[in-house]
Amino acid sequence: MTNEVFSYSSLLLIVFVAAVIPAAVNRIKFISIPIVVGEIVAGIVIGKSGLNLVSESVWLDFLFQLGFAFLMFMSGLEINLQLIGPSSKKGQLTQQPFFVASILFLTSFILSFIIAFLLKIYGLIPNITLFVIVFCSTSVGIVVPILKEKGLLNEEYGQIILITALLADFSTMILLSLFVTLTSSSSVFEILLILLLIPAFFLVYKAGNKIMKYPMMEELAHKTSQIKVRGTIALLIMFMTLAQLLKTEMILGAFLAGLIVSLINDRATSQIYQKLDAIGYGFFIPLFFIMVGVNFNVKDIINNPESMYLLPVFLAIIYFVNLMPSIFLRFIYSWKKSIAAATLSSSRLSLIIAVGTIGYKMGIISGALNATIILVAIITCTISPLLFNNLFYAQTK
């Protein structure tokens, strides 16, 4: 057991920054900045690239990992399959938003693979799989709030964007977990062990559905009992532990735990979503994003400027692989609506930061390239919603 004495000063600074960032971001009126971007930037200011006020600690690293897991858990929780319903419009193509979204995602995935393959041949990236995820993933956490704000979630146009984001999120999450397992496992048996997560998911889902029907669950869901919150945290830790035992990345376990909670709770009546939002976005997730900024080291980029040259290349690729599939949307909607959907789908955040974090930890991605990926996330999740708003507003004027 470590004899390290934990200093609360660094944690105090981080939670203080987390407390003031939402108000600070809200004061910026000329541009809409996601709070998570403010958290990363604030972390850069107080971290290695700025004032260097945060001391390294095994306990802070533990909280960072737990925040990472909670972020992936909340990504699973955000997947609301009830929003994927039949379209009310007439017409052969428009009656199948899932079919249209599948075409959009598969086209984006194929383009991402071809480009990543070419970049690997020319030695510009170290790994094809990781950068396919960077290029074709999206951020449901950015997409859903924008669609809610515009009242588009229950319309066909919004459903196509949503389903495309869900397919991208879920597929790239599975791909990342499989990549980590295949890379780190030394035997076929260890690789096949990951398949045990599938029956575990369905068994817990079935059991959870039955447990939620007991009247006791509602009786003990509030005040000091908070049985649903306690059960949810236990479920999260259980799937993280199971993923660790199966020698795969814990983010897959966390994601599946969030998906189970989403499936067994009614969003219209259950308070569990608000409570988990309060826990996750009130402490663990801000801590994660601030620590991402703290660990961002500008010296890596200065010492390896070639990685910085890749920033505009990556941004161009990300928008290209989303804009090209929008040609299919042109058969249903106007060019402005089609391009607006593509720009919103170009938002990148938690998954590509996960790619950078995991790739750097595994020694596949350099510190400079990881820093570039973080900058890609900051830029796309700031610019993409702005472009969508402008294009969508121009369309509806």
pLDDT of res. 88: 46
Query: With contact defined as beta carbons under 8 Å apart, do 34 and 16 qualify?
Result: no
Check pLDDT > 50 for residue 158.
yes
- Amino acid letter, residue 261: V
Per residue in 324-350, pLDDT (tens digit) is 998 988 888 888 999 999 999 998 877
* Phi, psi of 222, deg, nearest 5: -130, 180
Local confidence band at 302 (pLDDT 50, 70, 90 cut-offs): confident
Check pLDDT > 70 for residue 85.
no
8-396: CATH, from 3.90.600.10, 3.40.50.300, 2.130.10.10, 1.20.1530.20: 1.20.1530.20
Local confidence band at 94 (pLDDT 50, 70, 90 cut-offs): very low
Check pLDDT > 80 for residue 394.
no
Contacts of 353 (CB under 8 A, 6+ apart): 292, 373, 374, 377
Q: What is the mean pLDDT of residues 19-37?
A: 84
Quote the pTM value: 0.80
3-7, 104-108, 183-187, 248-252 — which is least confidently predicted?
3-7
Closest CA to 319 of 351, 349, 341: 341
225's torsion region: left (phi>0), alpha (psi -120 to 50) or beta?
A: alpha
pLDDT of res. 92: 43
Mean residue pLDDT across the chain = 85
Cβ neighbours of 221 (radius 10 Å)? 18
* Phi, psi of 395, deg, nearest 5: -70, -35
Task: Between 30 and 48, name the one with better pLDDT.
Answer: 48
pLDDT of res. 132: 96
Which of 42-46, 136-140, 390-394 has the largest mean confidence?
A: 42-46
Local confidence band at 236 (pLDDT 50, 70, 90 cut-offs): very high
Task: Between 15 and 194, name the one with better pLDDT.
Answer: 15
pLDDT of res. 1: 47
Contacts of 284 (CB under 8 A, 6+ apart): 63, 66, 67, 70, 71
The residue whose two tokens read 């869901």 is 221
Local confidence band at 217 (pLDDT 50, 70, 90 cut-offs): confident
Task: Give percent of the chain above pLDDT 70.
Answer: 91
Per residue in 166-179, pLDDT (tens digit) is 888 888 888 888 88
Check pLDDT > 70 for residue 395.
no
- Going from N- to C-terminal start, the domains of the chain cover 8-396
pLDDT of res. 109: 96
Local confidence band at 364 (pLDDT 50, 70, 90 cut-offs): very high
Per residue in 264-279, pLDDT (tens digit) is 988 777 888 889 989 9
* Phi, psi of 32, deg, nearest 5: -90, 110
